[in-house]
Structure formats: structure tokens, C-alpha cells
Amino acid sequence: MRESVPSPAPQIVAIVLAGGRGVRAGYATPKQVVMLGDKPVLRWSLDALAGHGAISGGVLVANDDVMAAVGALPEGWISELPGEERQASVANALAALSDRADDALVLVHDAARPGVDDAVIARLLAALAAGAEAAIPTLPVPDTLVAQTGGEAGDVVDRGALARVQTPQAFRLGTLRRAHAAATDGVAATDDAQLVRRLGVPVVAVAGDARLHKLTYGEDMAILSGLLGVGTMMRHTVGMGYDVHRLVAAKPLWIGGIEIPHSHGLEGHSDADVALHALTDAILGALGDGDIGDHFPPSDPQWRGAASHLFLSFAAARVAAQGGRIAHVDLTIIAEAPKIGPHRQAIRERIADILAVSPLRVSVKATTTERLGFTGRREGIAAQAVATLQLPEN
């Protein structure tokens, strides 16, 4: 009697999604490259998946700036640019895996969950080995849930029928390809299991892990540090900045990163944006990193006429380089004219954009000196700023 030859084990590949900007986390850089312990958040997932003995390679979906920050890819891994939405990013990764057979297995993981480990991967692969087409890790919901309309709590929702969904999610590659090919209704899915279920394919739930907590807000970094045992403690620092520039005729007026129509502009070596200069000094002060003149001396001709958002972006990058985040900035512009009020929201949004934080972390105010002093005489404009940072303990 002829002996049966066992079928070869299917190839296993991984997709790591790191294309988002993570604005809600409040960091000046994408949250995927913020330091968690001794390495960037993204590197935790990349190292865990690439180091798994059964995974033969993968695709990292990330923008060029993230790629530059995270370092060399593991052997057998390639990179792919993200799409506009998560679903498009997965589709791009699947296209990059076109040489893999449909019977391969694929793990799709969000880089914002750095706590992936072998135990969760083993449970997912065991579910596929038992015949499932798709498997996801889930956790029970520990809190009481209520329906809510506006600010009013409604009826309690039965949490026994609910679960929290995590990643990585595991699929047979052919099944995931079919799910994405069928997703032509224009409704974006927040995870791939939803697309598979639309095909009528059952999705098996396996036990998740609390260490797969997602980095969404800045506060989650402290939670992850504790869960992963990296011991990163954060301290709060505060810095203050103050700047003054003279008003001169026939010059553009830049305040807070926007040009404001006015008969006069501010005189200075750069564009003399008094608001951004004060903010830059406040952030550098909170870092204990000198002031704007140390880093951009007016004696250096390369900064003549420079846009001041370059200075503020530099300060924000210095925060990120230390593994910190900008918790809040508060700016007061002191001017008799022009009126700042009509431009306040635009200034706030522009500063938030430069710092890569939510506008909720930016306060912009304006006042006059009741016609007293040089600002009251319309000879110049002043600004003062306070920046609050969260920095890792040394």
C-alpha cells in the first residue's frame, strides 16, 4: 500500500499597516515612530512578526518619513505606500503579494498595537489550521455600556454579546483577496474581518491579549509602557516664550503662520512672525534646549526672510526626538492693530498643523495694552507663549 505524502505547510506572510498620521495621539511625528522604551512603536510589531519562526516575510505599509525613521526592513520584507484609507492600504499590500499562492496564510496587523507576541499568533494560526478561513483576537468588554444621546446616558447595553476586536487578524490569502475584490460599495471597513464577513464567510474569534492595547491617544503610551514592561515614566515640563517685533510700512504681516492683510508688517531677519517665534522659544524652553537665536542666529544669512514655521517645526521635531509629546501650547498676541479676533481660528489651525497636534491642544488669545506702551502706539506687536510637554524620565 502506498504511503500518503503529507501536504507542505502553507506559507505564512504578514502585513503591517503603518500609514496613518496618528494626529489624536498629539505627537509632532507619526505615532508609529515615537519611542516606546528603546525603539520606535512600529519596530515592536515588525520585530515580533519578522522574528516568528513560521512567518516567511511580509509587507510594511508606510510613508517615506516613517520608513526613514524605522530603519532597515527585516530579510524577506518589502515596503509599500499606503492608500487614503486603511482598506486601500491593505489592498496595496495584497497587490505587492501577487506572487503568493491563494493557499498562503496572511496576518494583517496595525502598527499602533506594539504588544503582539507568539501566543496570540499561535492561537490565530491554530484556528486556520483547524479549517477556519479567518480568525481574529478579541477581548471581553469589562465596563458597563450605555446608549448615549448627546450628553445624556440611556439604557444599559448588554455587554455579554459584545467583544473588543484586536489585531493581528489571520486569513487564508485567497479569502482576503476575494473580500477586497468584492468591496466595491464605497463603504470603508475599519478592519478586514468585516469585509470577509460580507462574503458570508464565518470569522472565528480567539482569545486576544491586553498587551495588544492600541496607541490612539497620548495617554495610551503610559498604559503600553506598563503593559510591555518598558518602564517609561513621563514627566511634565513647561516653557515660556516672549517676542517683540517692530511694525514697518510696506511689508507683509505674518502672525501665527498666516498672512494678515494690514498696512504694516513686522521687521526682522526672518519673516518676523512674532507668534511663532514666541511659541518656538516656549517649546525650546520646556526642553531646556536654548532659544531660537541659538539654533537660528540672525547673523546667519541662510535665515534671512525665512518662514517662521520652519523654526516651530524644528522645535517640535526636537520634542519627538526625545520621545516626548506636546501636551498643550497657549499663545497670547498683544497688538493694537490689526484685530486678531477674525483670524484667531485660522491661526490656531495653522499652528496645530505645524506641530502635528489636534487644535484642541492649541490656545490662541489676543489682547491690547489699552493704547499704552509701544504696542499701544502701534509701533510693534508682542507675543507670549507657554508650552507644556510630556518627556520621558531620564
State pLDDT tens for residues 347-366.
999 999 898 888 888 999 99
**34 vs 257: which has the higher pLDDT:** 257
The model's pLDDT over 296-351, given as tens digits with 9 standing for 90+, comes to: 988 888 888 899 999 999 999 888 888 788 999 999 999 999 999 999 999 999 99
Q: Does residue 6 lie within any of the structural domains?
A: no
Residues 244 and 179 placed together within one structural domain of the fold: no
Q: Give residue 5's pLDDT band: very low, low, confident or very high (50, 70, 90).
A: very low
Residues 69 and 194 placed together within one structural domain of the fold: yes
Residues 206 and 257 placed together within one structural domain of the fold: no
Beta strands 234-249 and 264-266, pairing class: antiparallel
Number of domains comprising the chain:
2
Residues 206 and 243 placed together within one structural domain of the fold: no
The predicted pLDDT at position 305 comes to 87
Q: What is the mean pLDDT of the chain?
A: 89
The full 3-state SS of the chain, as one line of letters, equals CCCCCCCCCCCEEEEEEECCCCHHHCCCCCHHHCEECCEEHHHHHHHHHHCCCCCCEEEEEECHHHHHHHCCCCCCEEEECCCCCHHHHHHHHHHHCCCCCCCCEEEEEECCCCCCCHHHHHHHHHHHHCCCCEEEEEEECCCCEEEEECCEEEEEECHHHCEEECCCEEEEHHHHHHHHHHCCCCCCCCCHHHHHHHCCCCCEEEECCHHHCCCCCCCHHHHHHHHHCCCCCEEEEEEEEEEEEEEEECCCCEECCEECCCCEEECCCCCCCHHHHHHHHHHHHHHCCCCHHHHCCCCCHHHCCCCCHHHHHHHHHHHHHCCCEEEEEEEEEECCCCCCHHHHHHHHHHHHHHHCCCHHHEEEEEECCCCCHHHHCCCEEEEEEEEEEEEECC
In angstroms, the first-to-last Cα distance of the chain is: 70
The beta-carbon contacts of 79-84 under 8 Å, at least 24 apart in sequence, are 81/19, 82/17, 82/18, 82/19, 82/20, 83/19
Q: Does residue 209 lie within any of the structural domains?
A: yes
**91 vs 8: which has the higher pLDDT:** 91
Residues 204 and 247 placed together within one structural domain of the fold: no
- Note the Cα 64 to chain centre separation in Å: 14
Instruction: Please say if the pLDDT value at position 50 is more than 80.
Output: yes
Q: Which residues are paired to 329 by β-bridges?
A: 362, 387
What mean pLDDT comes out for the span 15-29?
A: 74
Residues 90 and 216 placed together within one structural domain of the fold: yes
User: What grid cell was written down for 54?
Assistant: 513560521
* Closest-CA residue to 351 (of 267, 254, 265): 254
Residues 135 and 268 placed together within one structural domain of the fold: no
Residues 384 and 269 placed together within one structural domain of the fold: yes
Residues 25 and 107 placed together within one structural domain of the fold: yes
Distance (Å, rounded) from C-alpha 81 to C-alpha 71? 16
Q: What is the CATH number of the domain that holds 77?
A: 3.90.550.10
What mean pLDDT comes out for the span 384-389?
A: 96
Please state, for a pLDDT cut of 70, what percent of the chain lies above it: 94
Domain boundary among 228, 246, 280: 228
* Closest-CA residue to 12 (of 109, 82, 91): 109
Provide the residue type at 113 as one letter.
Answer: R
Residues 240 and 305 placed together within one structural domain of the fold: yes
Range of the domain at 321: 234-392
Q: What is the CATH number of the domain that holds 379?
A: 3.30.1330.50
* Closest-CA residue to 347 (of 278, 277, 263, 259): 259
Domain boundary among 197, 228, 259: 228
Provide the residue type at 4 as one letter.
Answer: S
Residues 186 and 240 placed together within one structural domain of the fold: no
The predicted pLDDT at position 231 comes to 59
The model's pLDDT over 97-155, given as tens digits with 9 standing for 90+, comes to: 999 999 999 999 999 999 998 889 999 999 999 999 999 999 998 888 888 877 788 88
Beta strands 12-18 and 105-110, pairing class: parallel
Q: b/e for 240-253, b at 16 or more Cβ within 10 A?
A: ebebbbebeeebeb
